[in-house]
Structure 1
Amino acid sequence: MDAHSLRVLEFSEVLQHLAADAASDLGRRRAMALAPATDPDLVLQRLTETREARALLNRGPVTGLERATDIREAVARAAVAGARLAPLDLWAVADTLEAAERARRHLQQADLHLPRLAAIAVGLRPPPALWREIRRSILPDGSVADAASPELSRLRARGRAAREAVREHLQALLGAPQLQSIVVEPVITLRNDRYVIPVLPGYRTHVAGIVQDQAGSGHTVFLEPLSAVEQNNAIRRLDREAEAEADRILGDLTAKVGAARDEIGMTVDALADLDLVLSKARLAERWGGAEPRLEPDGTLSLRSARHPLLVESRRRRTGEAARDEVVPVDVPLTPGARVLVVTGPNAGGKTVALKTVGLLALMVQAGLHIPASPDSVLPVFGAVYADIGDEQSIAHDLSSFSAHISRIRGILAAVDRTSLVLLDEIGAGTDPGEGAALGNAVLESLARRGAHVVATTHLDGIKAFVAKNSDMTNGAVEFDLDRMQPVYKLHIGFPGRSYAIDVASRLGIPPSIVQRAREFVGDSAAGVADLLDRLRTLESQRADEADRAAQERAVAVRAREEAEEVARDLRARAATLRAQAGRVIAEIAAEARRRVESVVADLKRGRPIQEARQAIGRLPELTDLEPLGLPETDPGGTDDESPLRIEPGQQVRIRHLGQVGTVVSDANAQGWVEVQLPVGKARVPLSALSPAGPAIPRREAPISWTAGAGDDLSAEINVIGCTVEEATRRVERYLEDAVLGGLTRVRIIHGKGTGRLRRGVAALLKEHPLVANFQIASFDEGGAGATTVDLGTQGADAPPATAPPATG
């Protein structure tokens, strides 16, 4: 793509917002390097990836990618024989590989058809045991863990024992009566990695030893007693042996990383691709983006298009709904008329419309969804050329006009029918007559080559030329003279006025000068302006009438289709279900109510939970209620009876069944509503309902219980990353499943963090009827980052479950 055009269309600004939505440095770098593609297949692939990523994120966030880093340089060093990676480098390798494993698992468990994301996930090949071994061997602070090897664990244990022994020995010396006169302070300290005690310089007559250091004042020397020398020597030997063992471990881990260089490199690339695609999805959601249709025949039709940077600017100032404040534009370029010339007043939105077309085309070819209607259509352009803004250069001896001409010369040398050309103020900067003639010749040349062209101008000569050519179209932006504000609406089919004299008058130019200006313009120019105004008014009226007619046709078509659908459904189902529907519903309602109430009563009397689970598990044997079959005609009503007007909460009677229920939803487009019956919900049309008379007393709501978790239910749940509200909802549902699944002890992983999540979970557990007891997990089970729960119903007199407080 043309670098100048990318710059003036501010494509890099879009990339910066895209990078801000990436989770990792890998994704941010990939985002900033993104370029529009010119291959239609690649563009379609990119758009599909973004669509799939949006579907994936709608199911929940993809976590863990923020820990991925670009470890390729470290991996390359690891492939050199004898190399040693630093512990923190190895930790970064483990972080990145674990992030890849979690991302791969998330995609596998998404239960969505995501072929493009699955193709990316093929590259996620983290060596399954490597990152776990690094985690076991390296601690987050960069030290080698004792558990990295049995030998290292043994050496460090001996070192700790030796240190404890020398400290005990020195502590005994400090307490010896014969040394009290020379001990400066009864403390044990380290000098030159050896344990010493602080004594006065005259120590020699009291104790033999080696001076390891001396205080700056000269009044204190740090003495290593001779009796502790061998112990300190042993500590140093053990430390050196432990360091050698740790170095060996680092060498082994480094060699394993180097051996997996290819798999790790492929994994890092796939992580970067995945993070980029997910950032595209997040940006699309933030800007209200939609996927346009790609059209190879050259049609460009942007509908309700908004400039994305304006959307972002309004969003930052006023919130998420700001995109609705940016006035959308419709820009049509058909295969028969690929040139659009936009005219109108200054500050009326001409250049914004021009930039919107160019920037959205670039975004689409980069795989980004655009802030426009999903029925927008674009071709895939081979190149985008833009001449926008003042490019004058004193250094290169170019005036504004010369700079524009130089740029247009380059465009004319490269353009073809796959090009999009954007020309701002074509023909400006010189004599209006000659500028219009030159602009017309340029537009004619571009049209002959089949290029898509959007241009702006104030020149009447260009407006007239475009009006006479069938392969070109005029457009006009609106301006509200009464309020002196642009409306930013683009109207297609007629040229617009510049309103220069009117604007000058309202901005305070003396009336005498304004009047003189009108006289200079002359009657013919004034007549042209009045004609343009009348054309604009007539076109606006025609467009409004066309919109109303289209809406009425759409309503009529939709109503006919809905009526036909209802009729087909009623005819197909009424014959078989009319006679038995009432009896089946009554039997199901009575049996379901009896079973559920029996289970609840038994639970209250202390019946074993496993038996209750089995009883609830048999409920699916009951017949499903929805949807109910209905008769073709209403036996209780008349043919001319109008449908009942209802609202949620109203009591109604299903006439052909004789059942009374409560409406729980608004009517859908087909005129159907959901009615809550004693045993469940039924979907019925309004025509089958009648008022139920006086409201009947509300019966106890049906009891619902999650059953059937079976033996596959996990004994732990991880709520790290959830809000307190999300976590308590998930934990409450999980506890019910765990009890019905026969579990008696479970673990809730909530992490340490600020402690808010742990306290929220504890508050739920304290009041939950199925929790017998809970407590902070042991060190082996996660410590303060997890809570263990003992399950079982509490007696009526049992106190609420409690747990000891946890720090942090």
Structure 2
Amino acid sequence: TALVSRVFNEHEPAINRDGILEIKNGRHPLLLLKRRDSSDVIPLNLSIGKGFNTLVITGPNAGGKTVALKTVGLLALMASCGLHIPADADSEIPIFKDIFAHVGDKQSIEMDLSTFSAHLDGIKTILEKASSGSLVLIDEIGTGTDPQEGAAIAMSVMEALNARGAVTLVTTHQGAIKAFAHETPGIANGSMAFDSQTLTPTYRFRPDLPGSSYALEIAGRMGLPEAILKRARALIGSQANRLDGLILSIEQQIEENRQLERELRAAKSVVDRLKSEYEEKNARLVQEAKKFRRKAAEEASAIMMQANAAVEKAVRTIREKGAAKEAILEAKRLIEEEKDAVRKELEATQAGQAVQKDEVEGQIRPGDRVFWRQVGTAGTVLSNTDPDGLLVVFGDLKVHVPEAELGRMKEVGKSLPDRVPGIEVSVPVRAQEEVDIRGMRVEEALSVVDKFLDDALLAGLKEVRIIHGVGTGALRRGLTPFLNRHPVVQAIRSGGLQGENPGVTIVEITGG
């Protein structure tokens, strides 16, 4: 038995108690013995028991209907005997308590049985004994008598067996039975495929689709006179011709779809290979980008320390020398020199754009948190009106950055520290203690206030006043969160001795 299983590629099927019969690439055992090479035997793929228990198989003469019926019966019998079956290992077969097969012509002169009488005798035995858990196989059901009456008997028998829950497979050529199978719950159509181009059967089973008998086409191939065939078509009637034509058209469409499926499968294989290659290359590029980003971050950190030192020196110089004009100019010169050095250093350390996972789409506005991809730094936008780029604060200092190099970040989950990749400082010759922004747009006002606060810090002022008025409250609503985030602001409060003036905001300067 083991040797036979290896020779004929047999497997142990999955046994189930749900009445589901699913044969995958099953082959008739006798055909395997006759042809030896399993590739010469067209495999059968057939399923029954999921949604329907009765299957009507149609198709041309000599198209494989009876062989399919016998293959199902033999494989079910082999499984019941504990044998391996010539089908794939994931095939499923229930253990049937009875297997009834009525296949072939049982007419007998000795028994005084005509073809139809023998046919009815076999069906009578099946109806007496078949029940749930039985497998019933009937070849050419309803044959041997008047087609209309034979079809009616066949439909009644199928209806009874289906109601009992028996797994039933029948073959037929009668169109009425095909229509009955299509309209009756628990009964389904299936057919053996036929090549309409070569007028030869393919011996492949197709689920859900009824098949034509192709009697006229086969008769033409066998040499019957065309005049006879033409008259036969006229006698059949236009409706039957249209039905056969529809079935033929569907079969051609199915074959085209199969060809398209094969082409798509081949194309998918190419796409999958290219995708795999792309993913490998992308993974390498991601690793290289991470290395560049770490290097850029380290260099930006060094630049930040250098810039901070320059600013602290400038502020210390201003305070020690009493904010004299010469001291302010000297501090401004030192900062400008340092700013040029920082910019040159940044240009040398740009190593591609790193992408921050917290970036979101949308227009960047003042007050937004942003990520500078070139350096891997997070900051806050102060204004977007300068032609040199957006003014962004990183830690204690600011830099103009092109908008294309920035990504807008989510409001929550920010984890990157504000690192300073460059500075933007203007040292005033004379600082004012108040600024009036009434009548300005919010973005314009924030830019003016930002410059005003920088001047106040460098001038050593402790407290300044911002006049924004009451109006609609838009300026104040935009100004308050901006001041709360500003690095030089220590505290804010409303104007007046008791804070009774909402049109003025008093700002305390850090380190003033």
TM-score by length of 2: 0.51
| Aligned positions of 1:568-587 closer than 5 A | none
Cα deviation code 1:81-125 (max 9, x no counterpart):
xxxxxxxxxxxxxxxxxxxxxxxxxxxxxxxxxxxxxxxxxxxxx
Shift of 1:512: 1.3
CA distance 1:379–1:562, change in 2 (3 Å): farther
Partner of 2:115: 400
| Aligned positions of 1:453-532 closer than 5 A | 453-532=168-247
Q: Is the 8 A contact 1:421 1:451 kept in 2?
A: yes
CA distance 1:553–1:466, change in 2 (3 Å): farther
Shift of 1:370: 1.3
Q: Is the 8 A contact 1:284 1:368 kept in 2?
A: no
Partner of 2:6: 285
Q: Is the 8 A contact 2:190 2:207 kept in 1?
A: yes
CA distance 1:284–1:469, change in 2 (3 Å): same
Shift of 1:296: 1.6
| Aligned positions of 1:697-736 closer than 5 A | none
Partner of 2:457: none
Cα deviation code 1:323-362 (max 9, x no counterpart):
1110111111033212111111111111001100000111
Cα deviation code 1:56-90 (max 9, x no counterpart):
xxxxxxxxxxxxxxxxxxxxxxxxxxxxxxxxxxx
Q: Structure 2: how far apart are the matches of 1:297 and 1:549?
A: 36
Partner of 2:423: none
Q: Structure 2: how far apart are the matches of 1:370 and 1:558?
A: 36
* Paired AA for residue 227 in structure 2: S
Q: Is the 8 A contact 2:59 2:173 kept in 1?
A: yes
Structure that is richer in helix per residue: 1
Shift of 1:314: 0.6
Shift of 1:546: 6.4
SS at match of 1:337: coil
Q: Structure 2: how far apart are the matches of 1:523 and 1:292?
A: 47
Shift of 1:536: 2.4
Partner of 1:310: 31
Q: Structure 1: how far apart are the matches of 2:268 and 2:18?
A: 28
The question of 1:330 aligning with 2:45 is answered yes
Q: Is the 8 A contact 1:338 1:452 kept in 2?
A: yes
* Paired AA for residue 289 in structure 1: E
Q: Is the 8 A contact 2:196 2:248 kept in 1?
A: no
Shift of 1:475: 1.2
Identity of aligned residues (%): 43
Q: Structure 1: how far apart are the matches of 2:269 and 2:81?
A: 35
Q: Structure 2: how far apart are the matches of 1:312 and 1:460?
A: 36
Q: Structure 2: how far apart are the matches of 1:464 and 1:542?
A: 25
Shift of 1:522: 1.2
Partner of 2:81: 366
Structure number with larger C-alpha Rg: 2
Q: Structure 2: how far apart are the matches of 1:344 and 1:446?
A: 23
SS at match of 1:470: coil
CA distance 1:400–1:297, change in 2 (3 Å): same
CA distance 1:503–1:528, change in 2 (3 Å): same
Q: Structure 2: how far apart are the matches of 1:379 and 1:562?
A: 45
The question of 1:390 aligning with 2:105 is answered yes
Cα deviation code 1:488-528 (max 9, x no counterpart):
11111111111111111111111211111111111111001
Q: Structure 1: how far apart are the matches of 2:134 and 2:93?
A: 12
Would you say how many aligned residue pairs link Structure 1 and Structure 2? Answer: 282
* Paired AA for residue 491 in structure 1: R
Q: Is the 8 A contact 2:16 2:92 kept in 1?
A: yes
CA distance 1:417–1:552, change in 2 (3 Å): farther
| Aligned positions of 1:676-715 closer than 5 A | none
SS at match of 1:479: strand
Partner of 2:293: none
* Paired AA for residue 497 in structure 1: S
Q: Structure 1: how far apart are the matches of 2:105 and 2:148?
A: 21
CA distance 1:536–1:480, change in 2 (3 Å): closer
* Paired AA for residue 111 in structure 2: H
CA distance 1:553–1:474, change in 2 (3 Å): farther
Q: Mark the runs of 5 or more structure 2 residues left unpaired by the alignment.
A: 280-512
Q: Structure 2: how far apart are the matches of 1:450 and 1:547?
A: 38
Shift of 1:313: 0.2
Q: Structure 1: how far apart are the matches of 2:31 and 2:238?
A: 40
Out of 57, 60, 76, the residue aligned to residue 342 of structure 1 is 57
Q: Structure 2: how far apart are the matches of 1:338 and 1:355?
A: 17
Structure that is richer in strand per residue: 2
CA distance 1:547–1:453, change in 2 (3 Å): farther
Q: Is the 8 A contact 1:339 1:454 kept in 2?
A: yes
* Paired AA for residue 427 in structure 1: G
Partner of 1:297: 18
SS at match of 2:237: helix
Q: Structure 2: how far apart are the matches of 1:520 and 1:450?
A: 40
Q: Structure 2: how far apart are the matches of 1:380 and 1:389?
A: 25
CA distance 1:551–1:403, change in 2 (3 Å): farther
Shift of 1:446: 1.0
| Aligned positions of 1:393-792 closer than 5 A | 393-542=108-257
Q: Structure 1: how far apart are the matches of 2:218 and 2:231?
A: 15
Q: Is the 8 A contact 2:49 2:167 kept in 1?
A: no
* Paired AA for residue 437 in structure 1: A
Q: Structure 1: how far apart are the matches of 2:110 and 2:57?
A: 32
Q: Structure 2: how far apart are the matches of 1:382 and 1:463?
A: 29
| Aligned positions of 1:223-242 closer than 5 A | none
SS at match of 1:303: strand
Q: Structure 2: how far apart are the matches of 1:288 and 1:436?
A: 40
Q: Structure 2: how far apart are the matches of 1:525 and 1:399?
A: 30
SS at match of 1:289: coil
SS at match of 1:371: coil
Shift of 1:375: 1.5
CA distance 1:562–1:284, change in 2 (3 Å): farther
Q: Structure 1: how far apart are the matches of 2:62 and 2:98?
A: 28
Q: Structure 1: how far apart are the matches of 2:20 and 2:262?
A: 22
* Paired AA for residue 54 in structure 2: V
SS at match of 1:373: coil
Q: Structure 2: how far apart are the matches of 1:546 and 1:491?
A: 16
Q: Structure 2: how far apart are the matches of 1:326 and 1:535?
A: 26
TM-score by length of 1: 0.33
The CA RMSD over aligned residues, in Å, is 2.9
* Paired AA for residue 28 in structure 2: H
Q: Structure 2: how far apart are the matches of 1:524 and 1:549?
A: 37
Q: Is the 8 A contact 2:196 2:252 kept in 1?
A: no
Q: Is the 8 A contact 1:401 1:429 kept in 2?
A: yes
Q: Is the 8 A contact 1:297 1:335 kept in 2?
A: no
Shift of 1:400: 0.9
SS at match of 1:364: helix
Q: Is the 8 A contact 1:481 1:503 kept in 2?
A: no
Shift of 1:540: 4.1
Shift of 1:379: 0.9
Q: Structure 2: how far apart are the matches of 1:501 and 1:563?
A: 56
Shift of 1:437: 1.0
Q: Structure 1: how far apart are the matches of 2:244 and 2:183?
A: 18
Q: Mark the runs of 5 or more structure 1 residues left unpaired by the alignment.
A: 1-279, 316-321, 565-808
Q: Is the 8 A contact 1:288 1:371 kept in 2?
A: yes
Shift of 1:563: 12
Shift of 1:364: 1.2
SS at match of 1:527: helix
